[in-house]
Structure 1
Amino acid sequence: MRTTSLLFDDRVLIDMGTGVGDLSLGAMEAIDTVFLTHSHLDHIVALPLMLDSVGPRRNKPLQVCALKETIETLQAHIFNGSVWPDFTAIPTAETPFLRFEPIVPGQSIAVDNKNFQAIVVNHTVPAVGYLVGSDQGSFAFTGDTAQNKEEFWDVINDCHDLKHLVIETSFVDADAEVALVSRHLNPATFVEEMAKYRNSARVWLTHMMPGFEEEITSQIRQHNSALDFSILKRGDRINI
């Protein structure tokens, strides 16, 4: 079982779920920048562990870009000296293993030849998705989300070079109430969200509850057999 982590050009991660564990130590050491969608454990669990493993091997801090609220949660509950060392001050405050960079929705940060734009999404804690742009095209990732307002879809639909949209659908329809209170999508609400989608980019589903992938897929087909989508699997490579 692996949780969310998307690797770009071997140097940038969106989220640090358990999928980071598939990387070698050398590959982890090469990562310079991380963009977090939100503070939930399945999206940040590998961050403290990776820093502990490769921090001493690196010659500069790992830059972690996230909402102010996400950073505050990590500082209060993870890097607090009790649960895990405060790597923003280790080995020294001047040369730490970790440096946080607060971001706000709508902000873009350039890393090498790509721009990472934060887009606010609807979740139980402050959260963003990301629109990743390059000269070759763009890629969008919702992160964890329930149904979003038109402002979110305006950004996605106005991106004329979008090639891929990765969107979550966590629960089966029988668990629609759980999806509602935890602010995730289920097949019925995913199909409703797709009715707002006006782009032609390829759609990928992710963040499905383990063991329910086939049922979620089948229920989506029952709601709308014409929807074209793929399932994002561990180790998949997407070209932008």
Structure 2
Amino acid sequence: MNEITILGAYGTKGEDVGTSAFYIDEKNVLDAGNLLIPLKERSAEIEFIWLSHSHLDHIIDIAYILDSYFAARKKTLKIRGLPQTLQAVKEDFLNDRIWPDFSSITLFGSDLKCVEYEEIEFNKKYELSSGTYIEAYKTDHTVPSCGYIITKKGSSVIISSDTYSLDSTIEIIDSREDIKSLVVECSFPSRMEKLAIDSKHLTPKILFEKLKAMKNRKIDIYINHIKPLFLEEMTEEIERFQGDYKVKILEDGRKIIF
């Protein structure tokens, strides 16, 4: 069974909800908005974090899994992302001012570094395990950003992460038969369209208007990154605008089968 688990499904933290994070397998996660609470001690086993971009809701739990499970870690945590994303994490986050620079610290009782940074390239397949691959593609946000395609045994899910334009996402979907599911962001209600455009996010109205260009009408669509304050309002809007698309709103802990 091909599956990923949604560790964090929302666009900001709430009392009982987390921000963007996807569990690919025991060693790999995509983004780090909500790792510590759902994974607990399994956080110490994560070896690779694949970042979509540098915003806090996608990176924050890097700090806490390193701190909370420092003594339990046996292998270097490799943070992978675009060069600009890694630069931002190093200079503005894990920089010895906001949080320790773990790339200069060795693991407890070991000569291995606690953290290493590894740049990724667009449209290059990286093998995670036998038959499982991940590849990044360019997206459109306020900082350099990428979406990811995760492939397991020849079947794929595409995750747009934070983006305003869906052009690259739709082009990939319509050119590949292996992509069965789309995870797409939708952050604000349609009455807040200007804020969505200024911050390069989507509303239900904008999202489904853009999806009209997609030829593949059979793909399963999962929506994430909703701001919890607007969940009820946006759920109603999504039902109104979705037409004949197969749409589900993601929640923390949900699994996507593809």
Provide the TM-score with structure 1 as the length reference. Answer: 0.93
Report the residue type matching 2:28 in the other structure: V
1:119 aligned to which of 111, 123, 137: 137
Deviations 1:23-74 (A, max 9, x none): 121x111211110000000000000111122233222211111000010001
**Counterpart in 2 of 1:159?**
176
2:94 aligned to which of 54, 79, 83: 79
2:77 aligned to which of 62, 82, 106: 62
**Counterpart in 2 of 1:24?**
40
**Counterpart in 2 of 1:211?**
229
Post-superposition shift, 1:147?
A: 2.0
Residues 1:164 and 1:197: Cα distance change in structure 2 (over 3 Å): same
Moved over 4 A (4+): none
Report the residue type matching 1:210 in the other structure: P
Structure 1 unaligned regions, length at least 5: none
Report the residue type matching 1:194 in the other structure: L
**Counterpart in 2 of 1:8?**
24
2:117 aligned to which of 72, 90, 100: 100
Aligned residues: 238
Q: Secondary structure at the match of 1:238?
A: strand
Distance 1:230 1:20 in 2: 25
**Counterpart in 1 of 2:243?**
225
Post-superposition shift, 1:214?
A: 2.6
Post-superposition shift, 1:212?
A: 1.5
Distance 2:234 2:99 in 1: 37
Post-superposition shift, 1:239?
A: 2.4
Over the matched positions of the two proteins, sequence identity in percent amounts to 28
Distance 2:66 2:199 in 1: 29
Post-superposition shift, 1:216?
A: 1.5
Residues 1:89 and 1:214: Cα distance change in structure 2 (over 3 Å): same
Greater shift, 72-81 or 49-58, is seen at 49-58
Report the residue type matching 1:239 in the other structure: I
Q: Secondary structure at the match of 1:24?
A: helix
Report the residue type matching 1:135 in the other structure: K
Provide the TM-score with structure 2 as the length reference. Answer: 0.87
Structure 2 unaligned regions, length at least 5: 1-16
Deviations 1:71-104 (A, max 9, x none): 0001111111111111111028962111111012
Distance 1:154 1:52 in 2: 41
Deviations 1:195-226 (A, max 9, x none): 12223221100000113223213223333432
1:169 aligned to which of 186, 206, 211: 186
Report the residue type matching 2:115 in the other structure: L
* 8 A Cα contact 2:219 2:246, kept in partner: no
Greater shift, 215-224 or 73-82, is seen at 215-224
Distance 1:129 1:146 in 2: 12
* 8 A Cα contact 2:35 2:43, kept in partner: no
* 8 A Cα contact 1:13 1:33, kept in partner: yes
Residues 1:94 and 1:159: Cα distance change in structure 2 (over 3 Å): farther
Distance 2:124 2:111 in 1: 26
Distance 1:236 1:213 in 2: 16
Distance 2:88 2:162 in 1: 17
Post-superposition shift, 1:159?
A: 2.2
Greater shift, 10-19 or 219-228, is seen at 219-228
Greater shift, 216-225 or 164-173, is seen at 216-225
Report the residue type matching 1:128 in the other structure: C
